[in-house]
Amino acid sequence: MRLLILGGTEFVGHAVAQAALARGWEVTAFHRGRHAAPEGVTTLLGDRTAEGGLAALADAEGDWDVVVDTWSAAPTAVRDTARLLAGRASHYVYVSSCSVYTGPRTAGYDESAPVVDGSPDADDVPYPEAKRGGELAVLDAFGEERSVLVRAGLILGPRENIGRLPWWLNRIARGGPVLAPGPRDLPVQFIDVRDLAEWILHAAEHGLSGPYNLASAPGHTTIGELLEACVRATGSAAELRWTPAETVLAAGVEPWTQLPIWVPRDELPEVYASVYGLDVARALGAGLRCRPAGETVADTWAWLESIGGAAPQRADRPVVGLAPEVEAKVLDA
């Protein structure tokens, strides 16, 4: 298989490149040159947002069996690239997001749920509309039978550049009393980036098409199991102090951002359903396999240790995490 990755140097793209290389595929990455692609990848340099920025891609020789695109910003970048490649690639896999679905959502929503309005000709639009516009750009250029729309839920794992699981690991590694937001048995649904990458390649090999929700099955793990796995992985003597959700919220602590991954189900049911209510039966029926949560946690910590503990941070995403003085104030109360 000949694979073209648009990106291929950071979180999801890097995982796809490594998984493809492990299968013996021929991998080309088109990117801006800000980070190195994995060893063994052929590199084409260009900026999709600049005039003439696709020149290296247009001049490259040969065709590809599949294109994987993780773009999250202006849909016009997906539009222009997809149009350029429509006659040179057999399949186009676009890594979208469950954010494309409209609210309010209820637990168990599948790929038939309504989606936000979007346009492939849009430039600076909010994230949900940007991802939907990217989907439409791919469909316009490749058609439904040659397109896969990967509507991913929460993505965790090594090389995460959003900071959610790395924040928890680093916080717990520091030890001491840790504000652990309850309830401990709150179900959490996510996908390890490596499992996402493997399924993307599986979809390409088997000629799958259409939209797929990509996450683990509902109830794959709990917030308690996840944070306790962080304690084990780091070898920390941290004390998880489980605190009722209403107490955490009353202190003004923001779920998801200040306490990453955590969304209280009873207090914020619509938000919780949006993040942790995906029906993933279609993907599971099409070969998705998800590793245990403890493995994701342990491997993410091993990666963090290998780079000195400071995780990379995407410039287009806000920094997550709770300030130590705020955590101490809530614990003292």
pLDDT of 188 reads 97
Please answer whether residues 277 and 105 qualify as being in contact, where contact means their C-beta atoms are separated by less than 8 angstroms: yes
Architecture of the structural domain at 2-152: 3-Layer(aba) Sandwich (3.40)
- Res 317 pLDDT > 90: no
pLDDT mean over 274-289:
97
pLDDT of 316 reads 81
pLDDT of 315 reads 82
pLDDT mean over 270-293:
97
The encoded tokens of residue 108 equal: 């168990």
pLDDT (tens digit per residue) in 83-103: 999 999 999 999 999 999 998
- Res 308 pLDDT > 90: yes
- Alpha carbon distance 127, 135 (integer Å): 12
pLDDT (tens digit per residue) in 148-185: 999 999 999 999 999 999 999 999 999 999 999 999 99
Give percent helix, percent strand, percent coil of the chain, each to the nearest 5: 40, 20, 40
Amino acid sitting at position 333: A
Determine the 3-state secondary structure of 26 from DSSP. Answer: strand
pLDDT of 8 reads 87
The encoded tokens of residue 31 equal: 């990117």
The residue assigned the tokens 């040159």 is: 33
- Res 264 pLDDT > 90: yes
DSSP assignment letter at 221: E
Amino acid sitting at position 66: V
Given pLDDT bands bounded at 50, 70 and 90, which one contains residue 318? confident
pLDDT of 219 reads 86
- Give me the residue spans of the domains in the chain: 2-152, 158-188+218-277+292-332
pLDDT of 279 reads 98
